Amino acid sequence: MARNKNTKAGRPANRLWGGRFAAGPAEAMERINASIGFDRRLAAQDIATSRAHCRMLMAQKIIPVKDGRAILKGLDVIAKEIESGRFKFRVALEDIHMNVEARLIALIGDAGGRLHTARSRNDQVATDFRLWVRDAIDGLDDALARLQGALIARAEQHAATLMPGFTHLQTAQPVTLGHHLLAYVEMFGRDRGRLGDARARLNECPLGAAALAGTSFPIDRRATAKALGFDKPMANSLDAVSDRDFALEFLSAAAMAASHLSRLAEELVLWSSERFGFVRLSDAFTTGSSMMPQKRNPDGAELVRAKAGRVVGALIALTVVMKGLPLAYAKDLQEDKEPVFEAADTLALALEVMCGMIADMTVAEDAMKAAADGAYATATDLADWLVREAGLTFRAAHGVSGQIVRLAESKGVRLDEVGLAEMRKIEPRITKAVFGVLGAERSAASRTSLGGTAPRRVRAAVRQARKRFL
């Protein structure tokens, strides 16, 4: 019988865990089992976790102080090697934890083997990963705040810049560009809130749960939790090593933020098109065509829109991994990191690009105002006037306004170009005062209710947004 080509006869077992094994893994098994290709990104967190664990072991007299000091010095050397790019990561050692431990033993000898006392890779990776996600949340919160700042600045600049508001992508009522941009400030504020909530919930420390059942050594879990900036240790050792709710919650918040970015990106794609002509994106965030010299393609916005799918996909991928796992740890959990890493990287890049586009875009105010004045956008203002001044019920006023819109359409004119006599044939109670509400500027200025689009409301909202978010 032919030997499996993936098997290497005599291949040694991993010396850090292979006492139970007479031979090493098949080559294909080694490749599928190794995670060092991506979990090396946990290096800083892994060393921080090891330092805290070592100091606790010394304080509890679980390992000799001499050995503990040697371990700490060795970890300092390894940290510098990794930061400088001189550290040699080895696939045969599977993951970041065993790469660091093997190097530690090579540097300081058998004392390095004491570091793993009273811990498992299960609680070690759970702790490292929480630290990484916590750092990622802090970075993304900063990026979201910068984007909010860019949007608020443009909203203040364009507090009175008229544009059409849309429903169903059909012209609805006049609004201001400032009001429109502040809607996204609110969305991204909620995204920051969700990320903050996720951070608060993940800030419990798994370290000390060991493989799944805790440890018989007299460890001090509160000390390691405090040293690593956690609020407290996790309460249940089984949950500590197997929980990835924090990663799913992070991905859920990231997916929602990416969806909001995608919506804004879609608007920039539309607004920068010739058919809209509302904004112009500079050379910094557009590309040309290899064939058509006249083209200016909004590729920055299009790619932000597309990359939202990658973040949503990461959430789905990890949800599927988690849905069928019994307690406690299973190797499936090795698949938790790549979706999280990719989502965090993708969202960070998309935020940077969007922030640049918002700050950089040129607004065509005249084109926006012309669009706001067209398409009968003040029909609702006409109906409201009929309620206030002519005493009609709103439903009756709605019907009269609809008839006047139909008349204007048939004549190819704006609402304010329909003659008073013609309007009075439809509703005799209409007076010339109605023309005071049929302009887009007056329409927007009249929307003074809380949260409305009136320029003075927008300027007040800008001031409040700065206080709330920046």
Query: Active-site residues: which are they?
Result: 168, 289
DSSP state of 418: S
DSSP state of 191: H
* Distance from C-alpha of 373 to C-alpha of 298, rounded to nearest angstrom: 27
- Rounded to whole angstroms, the Cα distance separating 383 from 376 reads 12
Distance (Å, rounded) from C-alpha 455 to C-alpha 441? Answer: 10
Q: Is the peptide bond before 408 cis (omega within 30 degrees of 0)?
A: no
Looking at residue 279, what DSSP letter applies?
E
Going by C-beta distance under 8 Å and a sequence separation of 6 or more, which residues neighbour residue 27? 6, 7, 8
- Alpha-carbon distance of 317 to 148, in angstroms, equals 29
CA–chain centroid gap for 351, Å, is 8
Cα angle, residue 323 at apex, residues 321 and 325 outer, rounded to 5°: 80
Select from 214, 210, 231, 209 the least CA-distant residue to 222. 231
Q: Contact 243/125 with Cβ under 8 angstroms? A: no
Task: State the residue for tokens 């929980």.
Answer: 243
Alpha helix ranges (H) inside 361-435: 365-373, 379-390, 394-411, 420-426
Could you give the CA distance from residue 248 to residue 241 in angstroms, rounded to a whole number? 15
Which DSSP helix (H) or strand (E) runs through 164? strand 162-167
357, burial (CB in 10 Å: exposed 0-12, middle 13-18, buried 19+): buried
3-state secondary structure of 297: strand
CA 291 to chain centre: 36
Contact assessment for residue 232 and residue 225, using Cβ atoms and an 8 Å cutoff: yes
Tokens of 181: 């941009």
